[in-house]
Chains A and B, each alone.
Chain A
């Protein structure tokens, strides 16, 4: 079974530039998550999709971050404009909500450095 795919793996940009990350979840997984992981911290949920609808985006800085999940499969996360404090690893995860079990499968992440 193929895992969660993310690209690019690394990105370096100047502040105020824009950047986009792509995620392809595991086939059949209805729920997709984007997390931000700052060095030395645990992942922090940014947004959660159920199929192609947003379930929770309460922790997404909407003035600069946006995300979409077209056709309930792939997803993109965009930052525009980037700030220095956005330097982090952006993790995508997916899960198949079967009953009450919610194991999440994570991709390798995209390491973003904002200069």
Chain B
């Protein structure tokens, strides 16, 4: 069966360190992988998208890697700040229909990150 697994435990790190979150998947062949941030009481907010033929993507202090052989994505936040504390969700995008018009996201359960001052 298809499965997406993120860090099973909440992650606590010290301010200024690099946070690394993992997303592993099985029985998927995703065209894209996306990362979202979710704060308590709010909807997820898109952060980064990486395509299957890309190895790495960067945006400011964020970096995402995508290894389709290992079936894994790593999400890094460098120089972490307390404001980075949130739940981070990875999501796989697949074409569900031959027409390609239905692109759907399947989300992992998220990793709760706390950056300690």
Contact = CB atoms under 8 A, between A and B. Distances in A.
Interface in B63-117: 89, 91, 93, 96-97, 101-110
Contacts of B41: 108-109
B44 A43 contact: yes
Contacts, number: 58
A44 B107 contact: yes
Given A4-B43, A42-B89, A101 B106 contact: no
Nearest to B4: A42
Interface residues of B, number: 26
A93 B101 CA distance: 17
B93 A102 contact: yes
Q: Which of A55, A91, A108 has the most CB of B within 10 A?
A: A55
Given A93-B43, A106-B43, A42 B107 contact: yes
Given A42-B110, A43-B89, A48-B104, 8 more contacts: A40-B109, A55-B102, A56-B97, A102-B32, A103-B34, A103-B46, A107-B43, A108-B42
Interface of A: 4, 40-45, 48, 50, 55-56, 91, 93, 97, 100-109
